Amino acid sequence: MAASMICASCASVQVSEPAPYGVLPTEQQVEWQKMEFNMFVHFGPNTFSGDEWGSGQEKAELFNPTAMDCRQWASIAKAAGMKGIIITGKHHDGFCLWPNPYSRHTVAQSSWKDGKGDVLKELSDACREYGIEFGIYISPWDRHDPHYGTDEYNDVYVKTLEHALGNYGPVFEQWFDGACGEGPNGKKQVYDWPLFNSTVYRMQPDAVIFSDYGPGCRWVGNERGSAGRTCWSTMEINDELAGHPERIRILNEGTKGGNTWVPAESDVSIRPGWFWKEHENDDVKSLRHLLNIYYESVGRNSLLLLNVPPDTRGLIHEADSTRLMEFCAALDEIFSVNLAAGAQIEAENVRGGSSRFSADNMLNDEYDSYWASDDDVTTVSFTVTLPEQKTFNLVQLQEYIPLGQRVSAFTIEVLNEDGTWKQVAEENTIGYKRIVILPQIATTAVRVNINSSEACPVLNGFALYMDPGLNEK
Ligand code: FUL
């Protein structure tokens, strides 16, 4: 298809925008990806017992935070630059943090606030107050419910979902844990995923559903916060996937040309465990560890869901909040100055020669303006000439994902003082956001060579940044 055609009446050149390529994200998935960094909150009886997986036999009284303040959680998330909070409304032990009428194992049976407390209410209110999105984890695995292991359980679970999703306002993400154990009858529950998913969409049409394989977003295949260096938001979802020997690698890297848009979410805890434990107060991840996680998640086309578990007071512990503030300050310092600002940027090919698709569009802050090449050009370079020599060690690239993920191989070169070019990186995918880590480099020009793209490349962001502590040994 020709990218340009002459408009006879106005005698000006109209250049059509690139046709979408492959499967595409929904509007909700694009907005979800733009959130980039969210808070996970593991809270429940395990906070008080020190367990990671409660048996379901814990007494409801065990849950008794002494000073719970969800506004503290939301204000910390906000200050850290997080856009949403997802809370374990029900973990595997079955205890519900809200008065769920379909269970006898909830806050209503505890003595906390005389059985009148409701964590989901307090947190959803706090999120609204601080302009943070609210999401819920409701474990399908339930070690308390006597129906678990029978068909009846799926109905109880659907009622539970309906209740949690129907009473606390908009839910941006429903988190389904894939864990599945045996019930009291020794049988593993057969989860009715189509029913669970349709229930979520009925109650919260705009929610993005997380589970191992989506449908809204996928597990990244590890709990270290590390997406694949190659990371497609597309995946080939089919019946063989669950038993596939390379399942974990596929989740980590996605599949080029896959049949479903199901971007990666990297869930990882700021501590060794998912739940708070006194003896882990000194084991909160270091600033450098968190920055590396950021580069390997947000910087590899994934969303980062960082778990920050409240303590037995029901507060985020000082050790975690202090580290989070350091993390956020470091991100600000690194990413507030684009060292490519004011550069000249020139592409070998610009779609239809039109300024609407010029390479400059990669340097402005408008999400919907992008550089694109002609349809038949899938190998193409652009050169960024800096106003003066700059020193940097991060190159950030962004594809305009509403039109699909396209780039499958690229290299980065920098200009040597003698006028020759030196290759400093060779990578595959870009996606919503890609941060390529380089040794520290001082140069006046950078060249990006798109060596392979499934359709003409469409990029809306290019930036250079400097992380001063990155290359220190
Ligand atoms: C896992 C669970 O078993 C852990 O307890 C935790 O909730 C983690 C986020 O997902 O599958």
- Domain span at residue 449? 338-465
For ligand 1, the distance from its centroid to the CA atom of residue 388, given in whole angstroms, is 49
Which of 20, 10, 4, 5 lies closest to 370, judged by CA? Answer: 20
Same domain, 153 and 236: yes
- Number of domains the chain contains: 2
Tokens 């694949």 found at: 228
Pairing state between β 434-453 and 371-372 = unpaired
In this prediction the pTM is 0.96
Is the pLDDT score of 3 beyond 70?
no
The CATH number linked to 219 is 3.20.20.80
pLDDT digits (tens, 9 = 90+) for 318-358: 999 999 999 999 999 999 999 999 999 999 999 999 999 99
Q: What is the pLDDT of residue 239?
A: 85
According to the 3-state scheme, what is the secondary structure of 395-439?
A: EEEEECHHHCCCEEEEEEEEECCCCCEEEEEEECCCCCCEEEEEE
Q: What is the pLDDT of residue 13?
A: 61
For ligand 1, the distance from its centroid to the CA atom of residue 182, given in whole angstroms, is 16
Last residue of some domain: 297, 313, 335? Answer: 335
Ligand 1 pocket residue status of 148, Cβ below 6 Å? no
Ligand 1 pocket residue status of 465, Cβ below 6 Å? no
Contacts of 121 (CB under 8 A, 6+ apart): 98, 167, 168
For ligand 1, the distance from its centroid to the CA atom of residue 81, given in whole angstroms, is 24
Last residue of some domain: 318, 335, 352? Answer: 335
- DSSP classification of residue 352: G
Would 19 be classed as within a structural domain? no
Cα angle for residues 203, 207, 366 (degrees, 5° grid): 145
Would 153 be classed as within a structural domain? yes
pLDDT digits (tens, 9 = 90+) for 354-412: 999 999 999 999 999 999 999 999 999 999 999 999 999 999 999 999 999 999 999 99
Mean pLDDT of 78-90: 98
Q: How many separate helices (H) and strands (E) can be counted in the chain?
A: 9, 19
Is the pLDDT score of 31 beyond 70?
yes
CA distance 385 to 248: 41
For ligand 1, the distance from its centroid to the CA atom of residue 161, given in whole angstroms, is 18
Last residue of some domain: 335, 361, 396? Answer: 335
φ and ψ at residue 434, rounded to 5 degrees: -135, 125
Q: Ligand 1, closest atom to CA 141?
A: 3
Same domain, 98 and 150: yes
For ligand 1, the distance from its centroid to the CA atom of residue 268, given in whole angstroms, is 10
Query: Before 205, cis peptide (omega within 30)?
Result: no
The CATH number linked to 429 is 2.60.120.260
Q: Ligand 1, closest atom to CA 274?
A: 6
Same domain, 220 and 362: no
Would 294 be classed as within a structural domain? yes
Do residues 65 and 312 make contact, with C-beta atoms less than 8 angstroms apart? yes
Ligand 1 pocket residue status of 267, Cβ below 6 Å? yes
* Proportion of the chain above pLDDT 90, given as a percent: 93
Would 20 be classed as within a structural domain? no
CA distance 266 to 37: 10
**What six digits make up the tokens of 312?**
């037995």
Which of 244, 161, 250 lies closest to 207, judged by CA? Answer: 161
Do residues 220 and 262 make contact, with C-beta atoms less than 8 angstroms apart? no
Same domain, 229 and 350: no
Would 8 be classed as within a structural domain? no
Is the pLDDT score of 8 beyond 70?
no
Same domain, 265 and 322: yes
Same domain, 186 and 115: yes
pLDDT digits (tens, 9 = 90+) for 411-443: 999 999 999 999 999 999 999 999 999 999 999
Is the pLDDT score of 472 beyond 90?
no
Ligand 1 pocket residue status of 265, Cβ below 6 Å? no
Pocket test for ligand 1, best of 274, 277, 304, 306 (most atoms within 8 A of CB): 274
Is the pLDDT score of 11 beyond 70?
no
Same domain, 192 and 308: yes
Q: At what angle do helices 119-130 and 70-79 cross, to 10 degrees?
A: 40
Tokens 């389904």 found at: 176
Same domain, 280 and 403: no
pLDDT digits (tens, 9 = 90+) for 260-316: 999 999 999 999 999 999 999 999 999 999 999 999 999 999 999 999 999 999 999
Do residues 418 and 461 make contact, with C-beta atoms less than 8 angstroms apart? no
Mean pLDDT of 40-52: 98
Q: Side chain identity at 77, as an amino acid letter?
A: A
For ligand 1, the distance from its centroid to the CA atom of residue 177, given in whole angstroms, is 7
Same domain, 243 and 384: no
For ligand 1, the distance from its centroid to the CA atom of residue 224, given in whole angstroms, is 12
Do residues 161 and 175 make contact, with C-beta atoms less than 8 angstroms apart? no
Ligand 1 pocket residue status of 274, Cβ below 6 Å? yes
For ligand 1, the distance from its centroid to the CA atom of residue 275, given in whole angstroms, is 10
Q: Ligand 1, closest atom to CA 177?
A: 11
Cα angle for residues 299, 226, 206 (degrees, 5° grid): 70
- Which residue has the least CA distance to atom 4 on ligand 1? 274
Same domain, 276 and 297: yes
Q: Can you name the residues that pair with 9 across neighbouring β-strands?
A: none
Q: Ligand 1, closest atom to CA 137?
A: 7
- How many CA atoms lie within 13 Å of 201's alpha carbon, on the beta-carbon side? 9
Same domain, 127 and 271: yes
Same domain, 293 and 371: no
Would 198 be classed as within a structural domain? yes
Ligand 1 pocket residue status of 179, Cβ below 6 Å? yes
User: How many beta carbons lie within 10 A of that of residue 147, not counting itself?
Assistant: 18
Q: What is the pLDDT of residue 183?
A: 85
Would 150 be classed as within a structural domain? yes
pLDDT band for position 473 (cuts 50, 70, 90): low
Q: What is the pLDDT of residue 371?
A: 98
Would 180 be classed as within a structural domain? yes
Ligand 1 pocket residue status of 177, Cβ below 6 Å? yes
Backbone region of residue 321 per phi and psi (left: phi > 0; alpha: psi in -120 to 50; beta: other values): alpha
